[in-house]
Amino acid sequence: MKKTQFWTLGIATAVLTAVVALPLRAADEAIDYEALAKIRAEGMQNSQVMELASWLTDVYGPRLSGSQNIQKAGEWAVAEMKSWGLQNVALEPWEDQTRFPRGWQNEKFYLAAVSPQAFPMTAMSRGWTPGTNGLIRGEAVLVTSTDGAEVMKLAGTLKGKFVLTQEPPDVAAFWTPQASRYTQEQLDAMEDAPQLPEMGLSSPAAGRGAGRGARGGGAPGAAPFDRNEFFLKEGVAAVLTTSSRGHGLFTIGGSATADPDTTLPSITVAAEDYNRVARTIMKNIPVTLEADIRNTYTPNPTMFNVVAEIPGTDKADEIVMLGGHFDSWHASTGATDNAAGSAAMMEAMRILKASGVPLRRTVRLGLWNGEEQGLIGSRDYVAAHFASRGAPPPSPAGAAAGRGGRGRGALGPLEPKPAHAKFAGYFNIDNGTGAIRGVYLQGNLAVAPIFRAWMEPLSSLGTTHLNPGNTGGTDHQSFDGVGLPGFQFIQDTVEYNTVTHHYNMDSYERLQPEDMRRNATIAASFAFLTANRDELLPRKPAAPAGGRGGQ
């Protein structure tokens, strides 16, 4: 048997040539450099991450929650990981199957102008809205008012028409690069992240209710005017919306709770095409559109998460988890959001298995469904396996009239399961294709010296910095919200916020192969190091019931 060498950080620093200086002191962690070298060789020289991403996007994308596509993608992922020799690979059903009343999938989309000029239009149905029941044709009209009295003057004139519901927006030029990476100065600034304002001290104007109430102009105390309900009763063919992003880009959304019987066909159109139609109408020139849209519904789809694991040895009952969300929106194939994270974490599991490195703890993968609807899949999984939060304590008398009375963000008492005490850590990828540059600590400052030690042998892959705060909005919050150490990696933004996140351009071509290889390798390394520590990763102090938590 070949002897495995363990070096402390101090000895290793003296012999490594490309070490990035990290602020503050790193912990004296025992690091198996020989095993990390095996992980790195497998991840960087034999990578399959781009092939995995191609299957998830080109073949099975988009992966809208509750759709046929995500079911097929999940079945493919299970078969693939079983072929690698992973264990307990499955589509694990959610415990609470009531959270998703209907699935939905777009099977055909066609929208075009017919006259006075014929041209195709870049657009897509909003999720969970009906199709057209075949080819339809009608006049386009501009109805931008939200005032009930004003809109109701159009009663009897809108049947069979395509209603453009917004003024044509101005579209700014791309004055700055659409793709970017963090500079050294920006990463350094993250190390000393500013403190967030204390709860209750922010300006009231910045509250959640600011700027709302645009649905219609009713009398004070009266029910707001529902413009879409009026359009439905009038027999409108479809409603069209757009955004000011332009350049052929648009984002998509939708709600699985929308009732198909009381919802109109709703279409999001790229600004250039929307504006062309709107400006022509404003010249009093009639515009005719036609559409053929087929959207299908699946009542009560079986909702699931994709799980797999590599069993540990002497600490096999303790769990390390890697994860990312599996679902996407449907305007494109969901490459950077989040086939990138799913493929990287699948590849990390393959790397760990293929490299044969020892794992004391069990390493488990979770690919989450329903993230785009509010982290539903990961929350359901955490509640089923580790812990949940009971109902928060009642608000003080009279608080119901203010913001605090709604209980938003309040934590109920922690209700842990036995596995809660044996959970080592969770690592998430869900910020696009960009290279991992470090870790958001989620306020868990006790783990900082440990991660600094781990990043030292990974520094030549670009992983060098820690941010004490939280990136927010990703599935690590489901773990953090019940007191478990859950982390999201810092990633270069590349084109995430400008071109890909929920946009219709989120395709395979937006992935960066070198970044993807590095990310999978780094994730595998963090899982390995977590699995082989003598102790579990430290946890933050427990949040008191009734306080506000990471969720």
How far does Cα 144 stand from its chain's mean position? 32
Residue 186 counted as domain residue: no
288 and 322 housed in the same domain: no
Number of structural domains in the chain: 2
321 and 438 housed in the same domain: yes
> What does the pLDDT profile of the chain (551 residues) look like in tens digits?
443 333 333 333 332 333 333 445 688 899 999 999 999 999 999 999 999 999 999 999 999 999 999 999 999 999 999 999 999 999 999 999 999 999 999 999 999 999 999 999 999 999 999 999 999 999 999 999 999 999 999 999 999 999 999 999 999 999 999 999 999 999 999 888 555 454 444 333 333 333 333 344 545 556 789 999 999 999 999 999 999 999 999 999 999 999 999 999 999 999 999 999 999 999 999 999 999 999 999 999 999 999 999 999 999 999 999 999 999 999 999 999 999 999 999 999 999 999 999 999 999 999 999 999 999 999 999 999 999 998 877 755 444 333 333 334 567 899 999 999 999 999 999 999 999 999 999 999 999 999 999 999 999 999 999 999 888 889 999 999 999 999 999 999 999 999 999 999 999 999 999 999 999 999 999 999 999 999 999 999 876 665 554 44
CATH code, 335 = 3.40.630.10
Residue 437 counted as domain residue: yes
3-state SS of 382-396 is HHHHCEEECCCCCCC
3-state SS of 51-96 is HHHHHHHHHCCCCCCCCHHHHHHHHHHHHHHHHCCCEEEEEEECCC
pLDDT for 546 equals: 59
236 and 250 housed in the same domain: yes
Domain boundary among the residues 298, 331, 354 is at 298
First to last CA, the chain: 47
41 and 24 housed in the same domain: yes
Q: How far is CA 106 from CA 134, 191, 324, in A?
A: 13, 44, 24
Domain boundary among the residues 273, 298, 323 is at 298
pTM of the model: 0.89
Pick the closest to residue 511 from 333, 346, 350, 366 (CA basis). 333
339 and 279 housed in the same domain: no
Is 126 within 8 Å of 252 (Cβ atoms)?
yes
Which residue range(s) make up the domain with 243?
102-173+223-298
109 and 85 housed in the same domain: no
Gap between the Cα atoms of 233 and 70, Å rounded: 34
113 and 252 housed in the same domain: yes
Pick the closest to residue 372 from 127, 178, 548 (CA basis). 127
350 and 245 housed in the same domain: no
Beta strands in 441-531 (DSSP E): 465-467, 486-491
Q: How far is CA 497 from CA 121, 337, 338, in A?
A: 24, 11, 13
pLDDT for 472 equals: 82
Residue 179 counted as domain residue: no
* 483 conformational bin, left if phi > 0, alpha if psi -120 to 50, beta if neither: left
378 and 512 housed in the same domain: yes
pLDDT for 192 equals: 80
Q: Which tokens in the block code for residue 334?
A: 């969901």
150 and 247 housed in the same domain: yes
Residue 463 counted as domain residue: yes
Q: How far is CA 190 from CA 185, 462, 466, 495, in A?
A: 9, 15, 7, 20
Is 362 within 8 Å of 417 (Cβ atoms)?
no
CATH code, 114 = 3.50.30.30
- Rg over alpha carbons for the chain, rounded to the nearest Å, is 26
Q: How far is CA 519 from CA 348, 434, 513, 514, 541, in A?
A: 8, 8, 10, 9, 30
282 and 332 housed in the same domain: no
Query: Cα-Cα-Cα-Cα dihedral of 117, 120, 121, 125, to 10°?
Result: 130
